[in-house]
Amino acid sequence: MSRRGPLLLRALLFACLLGLALPAAAAPADATPHQATVVTAQPKPDPHRAVRAQKVLDSVTDLLNGLTSPAKAQRDLSLQLRDLVQLKDALSPADRARANRLLARPTANPNRCPDVRCYQGADRQICNDTICVHWVPASEDPKNAPVSMRYVHRVLKTVSGVDQKYVAAGYRKPMSDRGRGGNDKPDIYLAQIGDQGLYGYCAPEGPRHVQHGSMWGYCVLDNDYSHREFPAHSPLQNMKVTAAHEFFHDVQFAMDAGENAWFMEATATWAEDQVFDKINDNAFYLPYGPLANPQIPINTFRGLFQYGDWIFFRYLTDRYDTETAGMNDLILKMWKACAGQKASHNSLRAIKLALGKDGTNLPDELARFSAGSRRPQETYHAEVAEVAKQGIKYPKAPLEATRNVGATPVTLTKSYQHLTARTYRFTAGSVGNLTLDLDFGTAGSAGRAVVVTKVAGSPVTKQLVTSGGPQTPIAYDPSTTKWVEVTIVDGKTSGHDTEGVTATLTP
């Protein structure tokens, strides 16, 4: 994928550490390509649209040619291609023609040259009842590495299995492409993209370049995932998780191609773990996501953060809802809320709607998640043990500050971004009652706190606090009480707010 950005970045980071949804149940109609749902509302005028379009065009060009350095690895190719589809009308005629060449399918399309490497020969294809796989034999195009028929059949079997799992779980099947690949089935192209720093990608195509609504697409996977180009995991494992991740993007395009990029990446990374749970490739991103970086808003698309965001959705799906065909239904509910005519149902609102149906809300869950991030070995016990066998360690959220409380009250106040958290630890040198005065400030009713107390020989106790002001005093005996931690969360979905806590020890 470009799903993880250029391979050079992934290899560098690896060395330092050692690129859907509708019916609640899959009805027979869900197993066939569907008609498009299109929202015709026009985007608001944007004076910077042409500038953004040019930046995306240049970035896609660099990514497809393997020219993006680790320092510039900011965007996923699949979603950059999505952005290019939606912005190309703002380009000059010449640049629009170049964009169309970049967006074109890789096989049997010499018109892609000279903008990006292209296949020179006619492609071959093999199909089953659900998927088609395309490749070009080495005899037709010696510049590309040969593709073994065994590998072609493995890709066909893998992607078909991924497709069937998503459909069985209730997700929408990718749209018919109206014969673009020779028939109406989704198309997977095999190409030598590993040496360009790409794992794989999916690109939306039609039927129209909508801002919100359904589009069909095609996907590209590497032609062998050789260990030389992909040092982490085996070639088959890399192909499997990439197929699961990228094909979920194709399903997302069928749901709503215009959804927020962070949500699309986070849920695609979550989905790959649902399909291939034992590979644990997504554990690589935990140090870059909210588990280790609670000061970054959950809805951020930057660097590798959005890939690490999958753990927030894993936290939710570990605790809420049922499973269908081995996939938790909560993410399905979120994508249902994204799809359809209500384009105002952006990703955060979709999350809130889905959580509301399960009797909870986003501020509460973000607070519990953030407090749990301080103790991942307790919060994700099974997962931590599983990845530890592969030499991977779950990171934990850092402390913002540690303060010893004595006769003088200690006050800690900070400006927070929306959907972020900070954890403070308080200790005391004498016996007394520790009182916490929580000030949610401008976060108001969206402010939350979780108070955690550690007493020797006992599990930690946790209390979710949903309103500010003085809290019930906590008995503190330094001979037994180790510490009291307060995780404060800004549960608003935009802006900056000021929150704080005052700790007082009284005899």
| Residue 195 clears pLDDT 70, i.e. is over it | yes
**The amino acid at 415:** S
Residue 314 lies in a domain: no
344 and 476 housed in the same domain: no
Q: What is the pLDDT of residues 86-141, one digit of tens each?
A: 999 999 999 999 999 899 888 756 666 666 666 666 789 999 999 999 998 776 76
Residue 394 lies in a domain: no
Which of 339, 360, 381 is the last residue before a domain boundary? 360
214 and 126 housed in the same domain: yes
350 and 487 housed in the same domain: no
Give the number of domains in the chain. Answer: 2
Residue 381 lies in a domain: no
| Residue 400 clears pLDDT 50, i.e. is over it | yes
Residue 291 lies in a domain: no
Q: Tell me, what's the pLDDT at 123?
A: 82
| Residue 366 clears pLDDT 60, i.e. is over it | yes
Question: Mean pLDDT, the chain, as a whole number?
Answer: 87
User: Packing angle between helix 49-64 and helix 77-87, nearest 10 degrees?
Assistant: 140
Element (H, E) at 330: helix 329-338
341 and 414 housed in the same domain: no
112 and 181 housed in the same domain: yes
DSSP string, 249-308: HHHHHHHHTTS-HHHHHHHHHHHHHHHSTTT-GGGGGGGGSTTT-TTS-TT--STTHHHH
418 and 333 housed in the same domain: no
274 and 416 housed in the same domain: no
Which of 330, 360, 390 is the last residue before a domain boundary? 360
Strands (E), 446-495: 447-455, 461-465, 469-470, 474-476, 481-490
Residue 389 lies in a domain: no
Q: Tell me, what's the pLDDT at 206?
A: 81
* Domain residue limits at 481: 401-506
Q: Tell me, what's the pLDDT at 110?
A: 61
338 and 432 housed in the same domain: no
Q: What is the pLDDT of residues 420-429, one digit of tens each?
A: 999 999 999 9
Q: Tell me, what's the pLDDT at 119?
A: 67
Residue 248 lies in a domain: yes
Residue 172 tokens, joined: 């929408």
Please tell me which residue, 321 or 464, carries the higher pLDDT value. Answer: 464
Which of 360, 385, 416 is the last residue before a domain boundary? 360
| Residue 73 clears pLDDT 70, i.e. is over it | no
- Report the alpha-carbon distance of residue 486 to residue 402 in Å, rounded: 10
Residue 66: band (very low, low, confident or very high) from pLDDT cuts 50, 70, 90? confident
